[in-house]
Amino acid sequence: MGLPVTIKAFVFDAYGTLYDIQSVAAVTDESFPGYGEVITQVWRMKQLEYTWQRSMMQRYVDFSVVTRESLVYSLKLLGLNYDQAVFDRIMDKYVHLDLYPDAKVALDALKPNKLAILSNGSSDMLGPLVKNTGLDRILDATISIDSERIFKPAPAAYALIEKRLRVQPSEVVFVSSNPFDVVGAKAFGLNVAWIERVTPEAMAAEVKPNAPIYPVTMFKAIRTQMDELGFQPDHRIHTLSELATVV
């Protein structure tokens, strides 16, 4: 047997992994009282769906456009009227998303490994977000899939890690809380750590016989449980702060 490969880089998904996408609910509920949660859930699900549809159709637009289109869909679906100022205020939250509380400490603990983001986000979204939250002083690179014009989980998106960081896939731990991203990264050949923030046991406890299913519960059922596509993460952890124990 050969010597084990040394890990040289940790590469993170941004939205839902380092950044709490549900933090947009504070702005959506302020603009549309009582609708904040459902807007947030539908918006995120359509945002992801549009990335996959556009990749399959070979009709790429950057993530800022996808995010706008999916927000328009969500507001129309709910019959909510809005003016441009309201719409822009909601969109602006995407460059001021909340970091998960343990993100900075977890990243600092992984030095001197190379640290980077690989995200579907466009450069004009990721740059301000990373700077606004101070991660520009910690990360070695913020990689957008823009140059490949195809969204994760396409293999070409993950290939950007080697191109930018000059590390082999076997030398990388890719970190994501999004199951579709975990599966895509593992299929590509990366070592993968899944941030399992909602366990199956916790999910099952939320669903009661004959009880109403709330938007956040449906979102968790669809978007936070591991997909059955034949690929499993190498590491299953529950918080970013556990990453230091992976290597």
State pLDDT tens for residues 148-193.
Answer: 999 999 999 999 999 999 999 999 999 999 999 999 999 999 999 9
Which tokens belong to 98? 């909340």
Question: Confidence class of residue 132 from pLDDT cuts 50, 70 and 90?
Answer: very high
Spatial separation of the C-alpha atoms in residues 216 and 160, rounded to whole Å: 33
How are beta strands 172-176 and 9-12 bridged, if at all? parallel
Are the C-beta atoms of residues 56 and 63 closer than 8 Å to each other? Answer: no
Give me Rg for the CA atoms of the chain: 18
One domain, residues 13 and 29: no
pTM for the model stands at 0.93
Q: Which of 51, 74, 94 is the last residue of a domain?
A: 94
One domain, residues 90 and 111: no
For residue 134, is it within any domain? yes
One domain, residues 81 and 119: no
| Nearest CA-CA partner of 192 in 48, 13, 1, 44 | 13
One domain, residues 115 and 197: yes
Q: Is the pLDDT of residue 236 over 70?
A: yes
pLDDT at residue 4 in the model: 53
* CATH number, residue 38: 1.10.150.240
One domain, residues 76 and 189: no
Spatial separation of the C-alpha atoms in residues 64 and 47, rounded to whole Å: 10
Domain count, the chain: 2
Torsion of CA 4, 8, 12, 17, to 10 degrees: 60
pLDDT at residue 229 in the model: 94
Angle at 19 between CA 15 and CA 25, to 5 degrees: 90
Note the pLDDT tens digit of each residue in 32-54.
Answer: 999 999 999 999 999 999 999 99
More confident of the two residues 215 and 188: 188
Question: Confidence class of residue 1 from pLDDT cuts 50, 70 and 90?
Answer: very low
Give the range of the structural domain holding residue 232, as residue numbers without chain letter. Answer: 9-17+100-245
One domain, residues 122 and 217: yes
Of the CA atoms within 13 Å of residue 150, those in its CB half-sphere come to: 13
For residue 56, is it within any domain? yes
For residue 3, is it within any domain? no
Residues whose CB falls within 8 Å of the CB of residue 228, separated by 6 or more in sequence, listed in order:
none
Angle at 147 between CA 64 and CA 193, to 5 degrees: 80
Average pLDDT rounded to a whole number, residues 6-12: 96
More confident of the two residues 245 and 136: 136
Q: Which of 42, 72, 94 is the last residue of a domain?
A: 94
Q: Which of 78, 94, 110 is the last residue of a domain?
A: 94
One domain, residues 150 and 206: yes
- The residues assigned a catalytic role are 13
More confident of the two residues 162 and 1: 162
Are the C-beta atoms of residues 224 and 203 closer than 8 Å to each other? Answer: yes
One domain, residues 142 and 241: yes
pLDDT at residue 2 in the model: 39
One domain, residues 186 and 137: yes
